[in-house]
């Protein structure tokens, strides 16, 4: 009876006592890298392959989804884009207006604002858009597109769009991420 009672085993279980504990420096490292990686890869920096940030790529992809040759309400396109982009509708609408203002990929209808005077566009329920002929020709080609599943696993979206034109240089790009930022001036090829 003497020693066969509960005799705690010696230090071997030290690790088990500690496993679930992350110190503050570990928290900083994990979360910082998660956040930085996301902002760099998924938010602020355009991809070198097609020149799009994820939100722009998703807008174009959903415009192609909806494309029937007629103008669509921007608010509708934004709503559709939310199936791929798990963020607020306002940020999607703003990103879309910016593409429209470059007057290359999107044909616009209504007041899309003016970058020279700084006037803002009308609300997304008033303005309309459709893909330009140029965009339809240059940006899409489902056969050679590589796909990934969307954030909720319900749909598929392109990893990159197979762009047949140096869009990044033509349109330029700007973004401030964490630790890195990008600024590419637009170029006029004509």
Catalytic residues, which ones? 126
- Of 49, 90, 125, 147, the residue at the interface with another protein (CB under 8 A) is 147
Site string for another protein, 64-103 (x = CB under 8 A): ----------------------x-----------------
Q: In this structure, are residues 184 and 43 in contact, taking their beta carbons and an 8 Å threshold?
A: no
Does residue 41 touch another protein according to CB under 8 A?
yes
Length of the chain: 190
**DSSP strand pairing (128-131 vs 106-109):** antiparallel
State the Cα–Cα distance between residues 48 and 167, nearest whole angstrom: 10
Does residue 34 touch another protein according to CB under 8 A?
yes
**DSSP strand pairing (156-158 vs 173-176):** unpaired
Residue 31 C-beta-side C-alpha neighbours within 13 Å? 7
Does residue 4 touch another protein according to CB under 8 A?
no
Q: What residues line the site for another protein (CB under 8 A)?
A: 1-2, 5-14, 16-18, 20-25, 27-28, 30-41, 86, 146-149, 151-153, 156, 159, 178-180
């Amino acid at each position: 009876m003497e020693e066969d009672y509960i005799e705690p085993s010696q230090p071997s279980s030290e690790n088990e006592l500690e496993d679930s504990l992350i110190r503050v420096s570990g928290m900083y490292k994990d979360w910082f890298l998660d956040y930085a990686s996301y902002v760099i890869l998924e938010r602020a920096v355009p991809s070198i392959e097609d020149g799009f940030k994820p939100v722009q790529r998703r807008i174009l992809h959903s415009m192609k989804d909806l494309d029937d040759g007629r103008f669509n309400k921007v608010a509708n396109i934004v709503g559709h884009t939310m199936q791929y982009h798990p963020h607020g509708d306002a940020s999607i609408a703003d990103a879309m207006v910016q593409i429209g203002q470059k007057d290359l990929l999107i044909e616009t209808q209504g007041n899309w604002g003016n970058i020279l005077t700084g006037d803002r566009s009308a609300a997304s329920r008033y303005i309309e858009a459709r893909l330009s002929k140029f965009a339809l020709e240059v940006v899409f080609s489902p056969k050679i597109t590589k796909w990934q599943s969307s954030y909720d696993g319900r749909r598929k979206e392109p990893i990159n769009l197979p762009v047949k034109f140096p869009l990044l240089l033509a349109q330029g790009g700007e973004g401030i991420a964490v630790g890195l930022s990008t600024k590419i001036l637009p170029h006029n090829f004509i």
